[in-house]
Amino acid sequence: MNQKFNHHTSAPIWEEFSFSAESISQEKIQLKSALIGRIGLIYLSCGVGSWRIQEAINQISNHLDIHCVMSFGIRTIEYSCFHQGISCTNVLSIPNVGVNTTKLAEIQRFVNNFEQYLCRGYKSVNSELDLIEKIGKIYSTPITCLFSGMACGSFTFLIGGGLVEIICALLAAILGYLVKITLEKHNITITLNVILTIFASCISYGIVLNLIVFFCGVSMNSQAGYIGSILFIVPGFPFVTSCLDIAKLYIRSGIERLTYSLLIIILAAISASIVATLLQFTPEPFLVYHINPWLQLVMRLIASALGVYGFSVLFNSKPNIALYAAIIGSISNTIRLELINLGTTQVLSAIIGALVSGILASLINKHHTTTRISLTIPSVVIMIPGSYLYRAIFLLSNNHLNDGSYWFTQSIFILLSLPIGLLIARIITDKNFRHCS
């Protein structure tokens, strides 16, 4: 069979694609290839894992009667479309990495209802994609900063912080996230963004703490709470999606996402360590507060719900989706913490907590139009041992090798346990994930 190989330059650019009035069901592989590429890029810009993009593209390709072979990175898509001996190859990329669960829900809705678009022209379909692509932050900057503070304040309580630490972490996280958003608007590179954001959060924590000490007369033993003020920078979304990609053998994408996650964690931890040294802060364990077990249970439920809701807002989830995620997170994270209190290991508790999150998300997803990942990742992010990682790198950088190695080992095992729990839940509840296709 003679084959023609049309390289990426032969595929129409978006402007040409948008003016075509041809029905998308007609036999024109260049236009079909451009359509698939644009859908893939929108998915990639949402921060979703590669196996999810491939699943959506397979669904579209079946309707278009073509075959697509794709390779993904964290910012790039390389793909070839084949039909009746003709092929079309494209390499596309997005400028930056981000998370947008509202846009993800809309593009997933488009894919699920794609059959109704087959009789429409490319111009009409492209207009629909324009609306989806333009979905940006649905919350204002003050709102996202406020919910960042709420998430970090709740996180601080869950890792053992008291009232002073919670207040300081909340206010410092608000200021730190404001710096982060401002730097993003000016397209500052991720490396400098993370460093400046961490410096802003930690210094803000120190200022707020000193003001509280001066005006309220409390002691300075609340230094360790500075770790809570920087937990919004934890790259939970790319880390979890990297593990899911690797589990589905999308190795290249998984490794790139994992590397990106580790880059942010290491930069944040080293930056926090430097500021802590300058401010003479030490990430020692918090003071132990004796609380009635039933009251502690209720407070954990509330704090977990508030923390997960805050992270959902940072991931740009709609209020109803954030509420579902908060309900899931409050149940699963409280179960995890109670299991630890009962003597269960951190690793097994993390696996069970993530497993509960995955199963509850599947139950909700059956009755509501959303994506599972919008529910599972925010509910699991609250379980990521960010404080352990930051404490480990602080201790290692100050030559406390034994203690640093202990906390580092603990954090790594807990980190690996969370995606394992989600994987088990996905395998149990999703037959498409359970089988190779």
Q: What is the pLDDT of residues 310-364, one digit of tens each?
A: 999 999 999 999 999 999 999 999 999 999 989 999 999 999 999 999 999 988 8
Least confident of 12-26, 54-68, 174-188, 331-345: 12-26
267 residue type, one letter: L
**Mean per-residue pLDDT, 39-51:** 91
Least Cα distance to 393 among 409, 372, 408 occurs for 408
Q: What is the pLDDT of residue 277?
A: 84
Cα–Cα nearest to 355, from 318, 380, 385, 391 = 380
Arithmetic mean of pLDDT, 133-155 = 93
pLDDT, position 144: 96
Output the CA–CA distances (angstroms, integers) from residue 119 to 32, 37, 254, in the order listed: 13, 20, 37
**Antiparallel, parallel or unpaired: β 86-93 and 4-6:** parallel
Residue 433 has pLDDT above 80, yes or no: no
- Residues 295, 92: Cα–Cα separation, whole Å: 53
Quote the Cα angle for 13-18-20, to 5°.
100
Span 166-170, average pLDDT: 91
Give the integer Cα–Cα distance in Å for 93 and 78: 9
What are the DSSP calls for 132-189, one per residue?
HHT---SS-HHHHHHHHHHHHHHHHHHTT--HHHHHHHHHHHHHHHHHHHHHHHTT--
Rounded CA gap, 328 and 101, in Å? 17
Query: Mean pLDDT, the chain, as a whole number?
Result: 86
Neighbour count for residue 185 (Cβ, 10 Å): 9
Q: What single string gives the DSSP state of each residue in 373-399?
A: HHHHHHHHHTTS-HHHHHHHHHHHHTT
pLDDT value, residue 408? 87
90-99, 344-353, 394-403, 425-434, range with greatest mean pLDDT? 344-353
| pLDDT reported for residue 394 | 79
Q: How far apart are CA 165 and CA 168, in angstroms?
A: 5
Q: Angle between the 251-279 and 190-216 helix axes, to the nearest 10 degrees?
A: 40
pTM (two decimals): 0.89
What are the tokens at 257? 């996402």
Cβ proximity of 158 and 306 under 8 Å: no
The type of residue at 251 is I
Each residue of 279-312: pLDDT tens digit?
A: 887 766 666 667 788 898 999 999 999 999 999 9
| Confidence band, pLDDT 50/70/90 cuts, at residue 212 | confident
pLDDT at residue 11 tops 50:
no
pLDDT at 177: 96
- pLDDT score of 7 more than 70: no
Contacts of 392 (CB under 8 A, 6+ apart): 269, 404, 405, 406, 407, 408, 410, 411
| 259 — pLDDT class (breaks 50, 70, 90) | very high
Alpha-carbon torsion 275, 159, 99, 417, what sign? positive
At residue 21 the predicted structure's pLDDT band, cuts being 50, 70 and 90, is low
Round to whole Å and give the CA distance between 117 and 181. Answer: 37
Kindly state the tokens that stand for 184.
């993003």
Give the pLDDT of residue 435: 72
Binning pLDDT at 50, 70 and 90, where does residue 9 land?
very low
